[in-house]
Structure 1
């Protein structure tokens, strides 16, 4: 009996998290409604609050998973930033809902009084430290501030997701209208600014 109740609770919690992910991706944190989340999860608002004390706590829970997924799928190699940009392009093009979720979090949490804390800041700081170590090892131009490296590469990689109107025009007006052409442009642009490190191995 206990195991049945536990499974039911896990199922309800899972539905709440899935519904919250969709709600936050569509409406952001401020615009999300707990009653809509409860309805989509086939449960009550009271049950949502029983699992998560507030809408913000629910967002934090979902955000942790939403950040972990791309971190596992996309590998930051500071010695080959063009390849990293290509991976970002591929991942978020295939997971546009996840990108919208992350974008809402970046916008709203950065504007909040405690915007200097949380999962987004922690994820960015980890990447910046990885870039700094690569510069110290000679794999990346040390003349750049690691923060600027992260900002420039991310912006280029996300260009076609951030500029929906330009992406729509490109699908009809570009010389090559394929997504592969947009991806190639991202890689070429990052490569022009941050050429891959010349690495030597055991073979000559």
Structure 2
């Protein structure tokens, strides 16, 4: 593949898809560090080693780039955390593992919840599918149906990050580094047991 150099003598691929990938990777890092409001187009283009005009050419504007980052995060999460037959216990364990090993995704989710109230189409569809899967599992007698599907999913979703997003003072109460493998393994086991208890059929 041929390449050209920018003003900083950094190689930049001519392939549009490769350029988009560089921009999405750079934007994910930027948005996860600074949030939507604090992110800067100039810094994203510098991280990607490409001209910032490419951001507008491929994504329209900053909002379009952020939405593209969210779509990719949702797709990656869906691949890493399958939600088969409404199995909320397996979902909780897999989502905890994913968020633990992907701090950028965790920070991005935090900024997303804090800064923007308007859901994207991809976000809305993802949640709709998950809630319908819970409802189907309830109708099949596989999941506790005493709690509405949307509420049960919301509760489990937050439980998967209960330790990862806990206040620093609560982390300090553990009397150990809150993110050591032993501590996170202990919490993961507690998470799985708690989800199992509230979701198993009566």
Contact (CA 8 Å) 2:86, 2:133: kept in 1 or not?
A: no
CA RMSD of aligned residues (A): 2.5
| Runs of 4 or more consecutive aligned structure 1 residues displaced over 4 Å after TM superposition | 3-7
In the alignment, does 2:51 pair up with 1:17? no
Aligned equivalents of 1:70, 1:116: Cα separation in 2: 17
In the alignment, does 2:128 pair up with 1:132? no
Contact (CA 8 Å) 2:86, 2:136: kept in 1 or not?
A: no
Partner of 2:171: 167
Moved more, 116-125 or 131-140: 116-125
TM-score, structure 2 as length reference: 0.83
Secondary structure of the corresponding residue to residue 174 of structure 2: helix
Of 154, 159, 184, 2:157 maps to 154
Compared with structure 1, are the counterparts of its residues 178 and 99 closer, same or farther at alpha carbon in structure 2 (3 Å cutoff)?
same
State how many pairs are aligned.
190
The runs of 5 or more residues in structure 2 that have no matched partner are 4-12
For residues 36-63 of structure 1, what are the alpha-carbon distances to aligned partners after superposition, in whole Å with 9 as ceiling and x for unaligned?
1011111222222122210010111111
Greater RCO (Cα-Cα under 8 Å, separation 6 or more): 1
The runs of 5 or more residues in structure 1 that have no matched partner are 199-204
Contact (CA 8 Å) 1:135, 1:141: kept in 2 or not?
A: yes
In the alignment, does 2:54 pair up with 1:47? yes
Partner of 1:72: 79
Aligned equivalents of 1:59, 1:151: Cα separation in 2: 24
Per residue, is there more helix in 1 or in 2? 1
Aligned equivalents of 1:40, 1:155: Cα separation in 2: 32
Aligned equivalents of 1:193, 1:178: Cα separation in 2: 23
